[in-house]
Amino acid sequence: MADAIILARGLSKRFGEFTAVDAIDLEVERGVIFAFLGANGSGKSTTIRMLIGLLTPSAGTIVLDGIDVGLHPRRVRERIGYMGQKVSLYAGLTLRENVEFYAGLYGIEEGDLERRWGAVRERFGLAQAEHERPENLPAGVRQRAGLALSTLHAPRLLFLDEPTAGVDVESRGLFWELIQDASDEGVTVFVTTHFLEEADYCDRVAFIDAGRLIADSTPEGLRARYSSGYRIEAQLAAGSRERVLAELGRAGFAAEAQGDQLVVRVPALDSEGMRRLGLVLGPEAAASVRIEQASMNEVFRRLIREGVALAEPPAGAAA
Amino acid sequence: MSAPVAAPAPRIRLRGLRKRYGPRVALAGVDLELEGPGIVGVVGPDGAGKTTLLRCLAGLLEVEADEANVLGVDLRGDVRALKARVGYVPQVFGLQRELSVAENLAFTARLHRLAAGKWRRRAAELLERTGLTAFSARPAGALSGGMKQKLAIANALLPEPDLLLLDEPTAGVDVLARGEIWELLEERRRAMLILLSTSYLDEAEACERLVYLDDGRVIAFGPPAELRASVKLDLYRAWADDPRATARAIRTLPFVSSARATGRFVRVEVARTDTPGVESVLAALRSLPDAPVEIAEPAPIDMESTLLALARRGPAEREAVR
């Protein structure tokens, strides 16, 4: 990959006899949202701690944003933002005081701080919380404040370890909008979660099991490989049913008529397939189209049951 | 000899249940009537009072109420008789970290004075079902997050309570361990009344009934399908090549309440009060300039939209009351 902001090769971590992470390769392209998923105890947190320079690998190399983490762990930390499972806000200090404390750590000048914090505060909806202490804030607001702090120094790479754990559905939605906005501005986001439906908010998904990578793909790639894919049905007037069925066949779709419905099955719905399907079904069927998609929970259950470790580096997996 | 009398169904009757922590009102008058068995989900935004409600039902808090009856015991009085029949698993791991998995179960068995012949067999079965048999000698504090939760639930099930209260039992737990926990609960859904709080949408959907709390009150109560049907929203999906750009464009449509990119499509919510009609919404979605939508479809209301709509309804109804 030409422009990888995270490049890890042969990354391993052993604790005594136990191998927590077993020779994994990771390449994360700049600007993507990269989901790093796995079961409890699979090696997820150990990998993140190695990537951000908190834990020394037993073997392997890590280059973040062109810097070798093993050689320059401190230089790397200036370029990354990290938010852990427990939000690292100091209890007893107001949010504003926390902000000033972090700004001091990152060497952000006062004038610069006002500008940056002002922007982040508006965007993250934190104005009302500014003079509250974190322990008095609802979990969702506290998580947003944690994310705001981890982005204060404008890092190009964000590590978010279960940022939405214990957060209600409304705050989770808002949180993902903020993450997607950051990504649209070119920030790379490396994120873990147990809400598997959130994998669909990401551009790439890797799955670690017992210390080995067993998947590294797009959400659609996983859906195509580990589920029954898509079932699309449309209701059509008797007059046009035969014609549309024939057109679907010509466009390469496996379609059949069931009563007054046409049913199409596809393993994945890529851009081209979506466009062709939209054209063939056309406006006359639009109001009756129903697309059923396998849930990510389903996909991952099957992946864990069937998954085998990736033998080779995932060349082209990000396509 | 009279025929054995079947145990009465576990029952909860609350009217005006109130709980304050100093000046802060956690429960502002909860009315709830439940007759078991079954799995009841307690859902609602952060800070709604879910944990406090579960703790009240476990007999752990002093409460004020017009009526507060759980399994025939008044929560306002002596609750010792209740505690023997209730299993409670708090959000924070509450077992003995230094004791092994097996020792924790033995400790619970002794607390509840369970007959040795009976509990040992049951404990072995619970360990087997939760995949913890191989770890029975390991200190509980050294288990992974998912295993800790499985142990805590197995431990609460050991005395076979009539009422099982689980506070976010699967928060931070992976999909397989969640599946194992739910299998354990499913098997007991005819034998006991299970109340659990959860942030997972698929779990909320799997409950027989849901209690939706907001600001210390029950805002909605009923089977998931009934709650979904009560939502005055229409949901659409707009399938597009670049869902994030398309979501931004969709947000500019005047009748759209929210639009979020989700994988290959944009979830679009339209309030019934604002909708120009299904055909017009679909036509508008398909003719956005600069953000081509390949397929637009009306979608059934799901749990995500339901909970979001209820979260918005909470404040609106409180305004109306004032």
**Residues A288 and A156 occupy one common structural domain:** no
Residue B166 confidence (pLDDT) above 80: yes
Encoding tokens for residue B105?
């179960």
Q: Report CB contact under 8 Å: A274, B46.
A: no
Instruction: Name the more confident of B174 and B55.
Output: B55
Residue A131 contacts B where some CB pair is shorter than 8 Å: no
Q: Determine the straight-line distance between the first and last CA of chain B, rounded to whole angstroms.
A: 60
What's the pLDDT score for residue A141? Answer: 86
The rounded Cα A95 to chain-centroid distance in angstroms is: 27
Asked if the C-beta of B97 comes within 8 angstroms of chain A's C-beta atoms, the answer is: no
Q: Which of residues 300-319 of A touch B (CB under 8 A)?
A: 300-301, 304
C-alpha distance from B180 to closest chain A C-alpha (Å): 12
Q: Which residue of A has its CA nearest to B147?
A: A40
Q: What is the ipTM of this complex?
A: 0.83
Among chain B residues, CA nearest to A209? B174
Domain B11-225, what architecture? 3-Layer(aba) Sandwich (3.40)
Provide, as residue numbers in chain B, all residues whose Cβ is less than 8 Å from the Cβ of A162.
172
Q: How confident is the model at residue B3 (pLDDT cuts 50, 70, 90)?
A: low
Q: How many beta-carbon contacts under 8 Å exist across A and B?
A: 130
Instruction: Identify whether A168 is part of a domain.
Output: yes
- My answer on whether A195 and A239 are in the same domain is no
Q: Which of residues 248-277 of B touch A (CB under 8 A)?
A: 258, 260-265
- Report which DSSP code applies to A93: S
Average pLDDT, chain B: 92
Angle at B207 between CA B204 and CA B213, to 5 degrees: 60
A112 interfacial to chain B (CB closer than 8 Å): no
Q: Which pLDDT value is given to residue A310?
A: 64
Question: Do residues A99 and A207 share a domain?
Answer: yes
Angle at B124 (CA atoms; ends B120, B125), nearest 5 degrees: 115
The per-residue pLDDT for A242 is 87
Residue A237 forms part of a structural domain: yes
Residues A240, A134: one domain?
no
Q: Is A317 a domain residue?
A: no
Q: Which residues of A touch B308 (CB under 8 A)?
A: 169-170, 173
| Cβ–Cβ < 8 Å for B250, B258 | no
Q: In chain A, which residues have their Cβ closer than 8 Å to the Cβ of B172?
A: 40, 85, 162, 165-166, 194
Cα distance from B215 to chain A (closest Cα, Å)? Answer: 12
Calculate the CA A115 to chain-centre distance: 29
Check pLDDT > 60 for residue B6.
Answer: no
Residues A80 and A21 in one domain: yes
DSSP structure class, residue A163: T
A249 within a domain of the structure (yes/no): yes
Do A147 and A233 lie in one domain? The reply is: no
- Nearest Cβ partner for A40 among B174, B240, B299: B174
Nearest CB neighbour to A194, from listed B147, B174, B308:
B174
Instruction: Write out residues in chain A with pLDDT < 70, as ranges.
Output: 1-2, 87, 283, 286, 308-319
Pair A11, A130 in one domain? yes
pLDDT tens digits along B210-229: 999 999 999 999 999 999 99
- Mean pLDDT of all residues in B20-36: 94
Same domain, A200 and A269: no
Mutation site for B-interface testing, chosen from A142, A167, A169, A284 by largest number of B Cβ within 10 Å: A169
Question: Chain B contacts of A43, Cβ < 8 Å?
Answer: none
Residue A245 Cα distances to A238, A268, A286, A287, B298, angstroms:
11, 20, 15, 18, 22
Report how far residue B118's alpha carbon sits from residue B126's, in angstroms, rounded to the nearest whole number. Answer: 12
Measured in degrees and rounded to the nearest 5, phi and psi for residue B39 equal -110, 120
Chain B hits for A289, Cβ within 8 Å: 295, 297
Residues of B in contact with A282 (CB under 8 A): none
Q: Read off the DSSP letter of residue A132.
A: S
The residues spanned by each domain of chain B are 11-225, 232-300
B200 in contact with A, Cβ within 8 Å? yes
Say yes or no: B297 contacts chain A, CB-CB below 8 A: yes
pLDDT band with cut points at 50, 70 and 90 for residue B318: low
pLDDT attached to residue A39: 87
Q: Does A93 touch chain B (CB under 8 A)?
A: no
Question: In this predicted model, what pLDDT tens digit does every residue of B146-165 receive, in sequence order?
Answer: 899 999 999 999 999 999 99
Substitution target from B21, B51, B244 for chain A, most A beta carbons within 10 A = B244
Task: State the smallest CA–CA distance between residue A25 and chain B in angstroms.
Answer: 23
**Is A220 within 8 Å of chain B by CB?**
yes
* pTM for this prediction: 0.88
Asked if the model's pLDDT at residue B321 lies above 50, the reply is no
Contact B256, B268 (CB under 8 A): yes
Confidence band of B120 (pLDDT split at 50, 70, 90): very high
Q: How far off is chain A from B308, nearest CA to CA, in Å?
A: 6
Of A171, A277, A304, the CB nearest to B295: A277
Task: Mutation target for A interface from B174, B180, B212: give the one with most A CBs within 10 A.
Answer: B174
pLDDT of res. B317: 57
SS3 label, residue A176 = helix
Quick check: is A315 in a domain? no
**Token match 């939706």: residue?**
B212
Q: Which domain holds residue A187?
A: 4-224+299-306
A177 & A153 share domain: yes
| CA angle (A118, A119, A123) in 5-degree steps | 120
Query: What is residue A174's predicted lDDT score, i.e. its pLDDT?
Result: 86
| Helices H / strands E in chain A, number of each | 10, 14
Contact A123, A178 (CB under 8 A): yes
Contacts of A184 in chain B (CB under 8 A): 244
B202 and A CB contact within 8 Å: yes
Residues B46-102: tens digit of each pLDDT: 889 999 999 999 999 999 999 999 999 999 999 999 998 999 999 888 899 999 999
What is the 3-class SS of chain B, one letter each residue? CCCCCCCCCCEEEEEEEEEEECCEEEEEEEEEEEECCEEEEEECCCCCCHHHHHHHHCCCCCCECCEEEECCEECCCCCHHHHCCEEEECCCCCCCCCCEHHHHHHHHHHHCCCCHHHHHHHHHHHHHHCCCHHHCCCEHHHCCHHHHHHHHHHHHHCCCCCEEEEECCCCCCCHHHHHHHHHHHHHCCCCCEEEEECCCHHHHHHCCEEEEEECCEEEEEECHHHHHHHCCEEEEEEEECCHHHHHHHHCCCCCEEEEEEECCEEEEEEECCCCCCHHHHHHHHHCCCCCCEEEEEEECCCHHHHHHHHHHHHHHHHHHHC
User: CB–CB of A171 and B46 under 8 A?
Assistant: yes
Q: How many domains does chain A have?
A: 2
Alpha helices in A158-237 (DSSP H): 169-184, 219-226
Nearest residue in chain A measured CA to CA from B45: A168
The CATH number of residue A252's host domain is: 3.30.70.790
Gap between the Cα atoms of B310 and B322, Å rounded: 18
Contact assessment for residue A80 and residue A52, using Cβ atoms and an 8 Å cutoff: yes
Residue B34, CA distances (Å) to B3, B10, B132 in order: 27, 8, 33
Position A2 scores a pLDDT of 57
Residue A98 sits in the same domain as residue A37: yes
A47 and A178 share one domain:
yes
Tell me phi and psi for residue A265, to 5 degrees.
-120, 130
Is a pLDDT exceeding 70 seen at residue B316?
no
pLDDT at residue B7, as a whole number: 62
Match domain B232-300 to its CATH number in 3.40.50.300, 3.30.1340.30, 3.30.70.100, 3.50.50.60. Answer: 3.30.70.100
Q: State whether A280 and A147 are in the same domain.
A: no
User: Residue A122, SS3?
Assistant: helix
| Contact between chains at A138 and B282 (C-beta distance less than 8 A) | no
At A34, which CATH number? 3.40.50.300
- Name residues whose C-beta falls within 8 Å of residue B183's C-beta, 6 or more positions apart in sequence: B129
